[in-house]
Amino acid sequence: MAEKSSRENLVSPSEFMRQLRPEYYSDTEDHTTYQLDSATLEYHLDTITARNQTHEFEIFCRKLCERTICPHLKPATGPEGGGDSKADTETVPVAEEVAILNYVGEPSSSQERWAFAFSAKKKWSEKVRNDVAGIIETGRGYQKFIVLQHNSPGQKTVHGSKMSLATSTV
C-alpha cells in the first residue's frame, strides 16, 4: 500500500521539466508575467543604499548570478552578508554527475572556486578594490573573481549598462 502511494507522488521527467520551464512547452497554460519598467528599477537601485537595503541587493545579485552564471552558490555568513568572509558569495563544488544536470551557468563553476562581490555603493570602484584585495589575502585559492555592481546615472559604465559585471581570473 505504501509502495503504491509513493508511486503516485512521483513526477515524470517530462512533468518536472514542464514545471521548471513551462514557457518551453506550447501546450502549457500561459502564466501572468510581471514586467518592471526600467525607470522604476533604476530608481530602486539608485536609492537602495539610502534605504539601507544592501542585504536585499546582495540577495538579488546572488539570485541573478545563480540563474545566469553559476547555480551552486553559497551565501556568505557574518554581519551584513559577509563581514568576515570577504566574498559576498562563493561557488560550492559539486560532483560532475550533478553538474551535468544544470542547464545554466558555466561548466567550470562546478569544480573551481569562484568569489563574488556585490556593490551598490556610489564609490563602487574603491569597494571593489578593497573586496578583491581582502579576498586575495584570505588565501582561499579562488580561480575567478566576479564583481556585480550598480552604477548611478552620472557614473561611467563598464559596458554601457547600468548594472555591470566584471570578471577577473587569477
- What whole-number percentage of the chain has pLDDT above 90? 0
Instruction: Give me the chain's average pLDDT, please.
Output: 75
147 or 161: which leads in pLDDT: 147
Residue 135's pLDDT band (boundaries 50, 70, 90)?
confident
**Mode of pairing for the β-strands spanning 114-119 and 144-150:** parallel
Comparing 166 with 102, which gets the higher pLDDT? 102
How would you classify residue 159: left for phi > 0, otherwise alpha for psi between -120 and 50, otherwise beta?
A: alpha
Name residue 114's amino acid.
W
Examine the pLDDT at 131 and tell me if it is beyond 60. yes
Q: What is the pLDDT of residue 158?
A: 43
Q: Please tell me the predicted confidence (pLDDT) of residue 107.
A: 73
Per-residue pLDDT at 82 = 47
Residues 10-56: tens digit of each pLDDT? 888 888 888 888 777 776 566 667 788 888 888 888 888 888 888 88
Question: Quick check: 152 and 121 in contact, CB under 8 A?
Answer: no
* pLDDT value, residue 77: 65
End-to-end CA distance of the chain: 57
pLDDT (average), residues 82-106:
77
- Regarding pTM above 0.75, the answer is no
pLDDT at res. 49: 84
- H or E segment and range at residue 165: strand 163-169
